[in-house]
Structure 1
Amino acid sequence: MTTIHEIRQAVFDVSSSGEIVNYDRAGSEFLKQHFNIINIDGLTISTITQNRKILEAITNATTRKAPTATIINTPREEFRELRQINVIPLVENTARVILFLETKKDSLCKPHSRKLTNREHQVLDLVANGKRRGQIAFHLSVSLPTVDHHLSNIRKKLEARTTSEALATAVKLELVHH
């Protein structure tokens, strides 16, 4: 049995005033554990954090004329399981916050079940370099459905629900070539 460091995502949306307007189950669990959350008749009110970097990222994604995305690598002493925070403009005055959380789990899976093909490695490397599906298809001279098929296989082999989660797992397993 081996120990695998699994990366999972927690997501919530926050307004420019710091009000949490939407969240997934993992986001809800993380917020309840780490922040002062008040839920009154379905309206969630919270002071997200006093962390200057996170507050700046939310401000940059919600209140500027040209909102910008921010990636924050978090220090382990602040949040032990939190590896990275992505703050992305969603709609006017609202940002999506994606937390990448690391958990350890024991795995009985065999090493060969994780083996990626050469083409899957190429696709994963292009994803790691910020390429979108269409750009990957063009670069590899394949169709979009073929790229989608490779991404699906990568997610299955890395036991990930999303391509972002697969990429985070691949980074941890040192499968991404730079």
Structure 2
Amino acid sequence: MALTEPSRLVVAITGASGAQYGIHALTALRAFPDVETHLVMTRSARAVITAETGLSPADVADLADVRYSDNDLGATIASGSFRTDGMLVAPCSIKTLSGIANCYDDSLVIRAADVMLKERRRLVLLVRETPLRARHLELMSALTREGAVIMPPVPAFYPRPESVEDIVAHTVGRALDLFGIETGIPRWTGRPDG
């Protein structure tokens, strides 16, 4: 008889602007007790969290079930034998995108993402950069060919957001959709007549 493992999702927060995306993902996932969250934050992410939110990195870490140092290349999520359902990098900096695309596994965030690709698990990258230069696009294209989902956090306006939090919640809901997690976000129902 096989043992059932918990559903596990790795959430990484990097140093791009938009730490709120990762924080909201962790908060939303708390409503799913059957999903075990594994968090890793880069050093730059810690600075962005402090600068952009009213939270400390410790506050954010408390939202996850399991936490790792970005320097811990021996962590469970650095191995393909540790089963997960995938990884969300929210936000994903260009530095992290480049590291993943070039297999430069010098940090746990990049190594864990590399594991997702080699094990053919879902990897969703909320790439935060604009405007984009040709090399950014080439890196995104290369990762897409390898199975990653590139999902810049572009806001949708059909739900008629009333706040930045509404925009963040909808984007995170769409990202979690990619892992089969339904958060109850507003859905497009078609064009109105006329």
TM-score (norm 1): 0.26
Higher fraction of strand: 1
Larger Rg: 1
